[in-house]
Structure 1
Amino acid sequence: MHPLRTLFRTLLPLAGAALLAGCRPNPSVRLSGETVYAPKAATGYTILATDGASTVIEVRNPWQQEGDAATQLFVARNGECPPEGFAGQVVQAPIQSAVCFSATHVAYLDALGCTEIIRGVSGAEYLSNEPVREAFAAGRVRDIGYDANLNYELLAALQPDVVFIYGVGGEANTAVTDKLSELHIPYLYVGEYVEETPLGKAEWVIPFGELTDRRAESIVLFDGIAARYDTLRTRASRLAERPVVMINAPFRDVWFAPGDRSYMVRYLEDAAGDYAFKGTDDAGSRPISAEAAYLAAQTADVWLNPNMAYTMADLKAQNPKFADIRCVREGRVYNCTRRRTPGGGSDFWESGALRADLVLHDLILCLHPEAADSMRIEGLEAGLYYYEQLQ
């Protein structure tokens, strides 16, 4: 993981020349010491107040195992200038154009009714969002590539007000942020993927609300999701049974299992389930041998997310041994592929980051189908939304 000093070396003032020029005659605002928004569930950001209308989005540790890294984005309003000596990004609100490096960023903007500002995405063929897919087909949204194949020439031509990026740590981050600095394109790290709780992931919609001047709407949206989630969690906690659940499937004979502090295991706990692969106090995934996984699988009542298996035949074709696992014999295998795209994407990995209430509802139905009637709640579909039972 690259050191903190390397991170801050990349955090140069990145406002476009026009924004800076328009800001010069005006005095700099100062941080007031107050907080505009302190997240209830998310741990990776805070929105800070100034003595003017502008705000600062402070993002902390936007990738795994970083330590104490922090970045700041000054959200300028009324022509106000950032505080003297400010070394972060600068963007004018409300943003009029954006590029999204992750499908989850598209989902946050869509939930706020702002997909029209999206000019570029990474991996358009995998997107589920229909308005953005249509805009891509019409040429109004461009695919800027991903990882080492980012098209910086196209990115510069799009001239976005901001680029939403995610952190992976090390030199990969530095290469991207150095190039964005060179192009004078502001960016915001979105760290929802390192949050350890489902609602922590969902609450990242609020920085998007801040940048689009829809803060109040984003808070109402999140509060509704959180309220429904809490209602479902409370109802599930009253269920007598706690089925044992296995997750994922092996890749080249290695089974990557979520750690005990991961958001997926939190989902299982809140859906009144027990995790078959308990063993590490970690938020990331850990490799376990296929042999150890098969042994643990013998206790499983339900199998979730078996990679690219869409049918029982697909699953058994991956490995004939799977046919002997009890939950396979009993047909209790579910995958988050009900809303998949022709290109192989899944809306579970897109809007599911925001709609924690829908995901929890699905998981309760997968683990406790007999409790479906008691889980009905206003604002949620009666059946499965992201998941489907393999046939």
Structure 2
Amino acid sequence: MKHLLAFLIISSLFFSCQKKANQATVKTTLKSTIKYAKGFDIITIGNQKKLVIKKPYQNSKEEFTYLLGDKTDLSKNELKIPIKNIVVTSTTHISMLEQIGAEKYLTGFPQTEFISSEKTRKRIADGKVVELGSERSMNTEKLLELAPNLVIGFGLNGNNKTYKTIMRNGIPVIYNGDWLEDTPLGRAEWIKFFGVLFNKEKEADSIFNVIESNYLAVKKIALKSKTIPTIISGNLFKDTWYMPAGKSFIATYFKDANTNYIWKNTQGNGSLPLSIESVLDKGKDADFWIGCGLFESREEMLRSNQSYNSFNTFKNKNVYTYATNKGITGGLIYFEKAPVRPDLLLKDIIKITHPNLLPNYSLTFFAKMN
């Protein structure tokens, strides 16, 4: 009887340990390589990969999980990879495709005139990328003729009728929420989203690691500055000044560049709607004005509103714009390339505010207004 009791106890302990070992094995095989982005994840469990879209659009309470494998079954949210034919809807996507060498799979885009990249512009000129109209009302007939494996969309909400029509015709649509990220590196990390779709994860990881390393290195350089200049940003739209909120990715750039952004302590990760009076009260004596909407010159700004001349930074010609750096058809380089190269954008801000720290660097996105 004693031997039987001992056997049962030992067996119980063995199976208990075995269960814990199995649980530990499951935990160790579940992997994620995402460090900064909050809107998506790539999870590997054994040989199974899952793409999780946590924040597809603003104020979303939905989360979408796609099983990545060797077939596409929309009823089960399965997606066949690698993608060989894709339609994207933001110029940010263009830059990320090119970074991983997947631009050759792009077959359609809404409003191609906004694309600045010379490489993709050549493909447009050669008829390899079809014009699909506007993002909100794409030409679905043309799109369906292209028969893409996947459409990458973005939107303010989940009620895009065009996307629903595309999905009803058996073509998967995945929302890309890179623009909703609160940090520069979080936005850039969406290159891994494209990497997993094209079986180019190693390439995407490698590219991002270099960008991350460059960003963190130049951030350290900024800390060497003995001066911390004050910054304002944004501009008036009608009677409201839209200023980057204190938790926004723009405010993060200003912080990492070792500057004193005057609205750094405000809440929110979008824009602050302010009156011109309140902006003047706090920002009249600011040292630099970085980012003033789509204005290309000080003269143009004054034609819009004479109040701009009340700011010392305006009178001292320390206003910097990204609106003058355009592609051949008028698309802005800033919108296309800056999200995936935050290291260069941070260098721009440091070059503007602490020019002696980067003596051999020339501005990539911004230009000083005349």
Say which of 141, 145, 149 aligns to 1:161.
Answer: 149
Q: Which amino acid aligns with 2:204?
A: S
Q: Which runs of 5+ in 2 are unaligned?
A: 1-25
- 1:60 touches 1:71 (CA, 8 Å); kept in 2? yes
Q: Secondary structure at the match of 1:148?
A: coil
Say which of 350, 357, 362 aligns to 1:371.
Answer: 357
Matches within 5 A, 1:97-108: 97-108=85-96
Q: 1:386/1:214 Cα in 2 relative to 1: closer, same or farther (>3 Å)? A: same
Q: Does 1:132 align with 2:111?
A: no
Q: 1:89/1:123 Cα in 2 relative to 1: closer, same or farther (>3 Å)? A: farther
* Partner residue, 1:288: 274
Equivalent-residue separation in structure 2 for 1:270 and 1:88 (angstroms): 43
Say which of 98, 109, 122 aligns to 1:110.
Answer: 98
Equivalent-residue separation in structure 2 for 1:233 and 1:342 (angstroms): 32
Measured against aligned partners, the alpha-carbon deviations of 1:191-224 in whole angstroms (never above 9, x if no partner) come to 1111100000000000111111110010010000
Equivalent-residue separation in structure 2 for 1:144 and 1:302 (angstroms): 40
- 1:276 touches 1:299 (CA, 8 Å); kept in 2? no
Q: 1:266/1:358 Cα in 2 relative to 1: closer, same or farther (>3 Å)? A: same
* Partner residue, 1:122: 110
* Partner residue, 2:57: 63
Say which of 320, 324, 343 aligns to 1:357.
Answer: 343
Q: Which amino acid aligns with 1:136?
A: I
Q: Which amino acid aligns with 1:43?
A: K
Say which of 233, 254, 264 aligns to 2:250.
Answer: 264
Equivalent-residue separation in structure 1 for 2:137 and 2:49 (angstroms): 33
* Partner residue, 2:289: 303
* Partner residue, 2:69: 76
Q: Secondary structure at the match of 2:236?
A: coil
Query: Structure 1 residue 156: deviation in Å?
Result: 0.7
Q: Which amino acid aligns with 2:286?
A: A
Query: Structure 1 residue 127: deviation in Å?
Result: 1.1
Matches within 5 A, 1:210-359: 210-278=196-264, 280-359=266-345
Q: Percent identity?
A: 25
* Partner residue, 1:8: none
Q: Secondary structure at the match of 2:199?
A: coil
Equivalent-residue separation in structure 1 for 2:68 and 2:158 (angstroms): 27
* Partner residue, 1:388: 367
* Partner residue, 1:187: 173
Equivalent-residue separation in structure 1 for 2:166 and 2:101 (angstroms): 27
Measured against aligned partners, the alpha-carbon deviations of 1:76-98 in whole angstroms (never above 9, x if no partner) come to 14x6x88xxx9553332211111
Matches within 5 A, 1:17-56: 34-52=29-47, 54-56=48-50
- 2:245 touches 2:264 (CA, 8 Å); kept in 1? yes
Query: Structure 1 residue 270: deviation in Å?
Result: 0.3
Q: Does 1:141 align with 2:129?
A: yes
More displaced 10-residue stretch of structure 1: 345-354 or 262-271: 345-354
Q: Which amino acid aligns with 2:95?
A: A
Query: Structure 1 residue 372: deviation in Å?
Result: 2.2
Q: Which runs of 5+ in 1 are unaligned?
A: 1-31, 377-381
- 2:149 touches 2:172 (CA, 8 Å); kept in 1? yes
- 1:90 touches 1:186 (CA, 8 Å); kept in 2? no
Equivalent-residue separation in structure 2 for 1:280 and 1:291 (angstroms): 17
Query: Structure 1 residue 343: deviation in Å?
Result: 4.2
Query: Structure 1 residue 48: deviation in Å?
Result: 1.9
Equivalent-residue separation in structure 2 for 1:356 and 1:253 (angstroms): 31
Measured against aligned partners, the alpha-carbon deviations of 1:144-166 in whole angstroms (never above 9, x if no partner) come to 22343221111111111111111
Measured against aligned partners, the alpha-carbon deviations of 1:325-346 in whole angstroms (never above 9, x if no partner) come to 1111211111113531354421
Q: Which amino acid aligns with 1:387?
A: F
More displaced 10-residue stretch of structure 1: 218-227 or 314-323: 314-323
Q: Which amino acid aligns with 2:86?
A: A
Question: Which structure would you say has the larger Rg?
Answer: 2
Equivalent-residue separation in structure 1 for 2:163 and 2:294 (angstroms): 33
Q: Which amino acid aligns with 2:367?
A: E
- 1:95 touches 1:162 (CA, 8 Å); kept in 2? yes
Equivalent-residue separation in structure 2 for 1:296 and 1:87 (angstroms): 54
Q: Secondary structure at the match of 2:87?
A: strand
Equivalent-residue separation in structure 2 for 1:243 and 1:305 (angstroms): 15
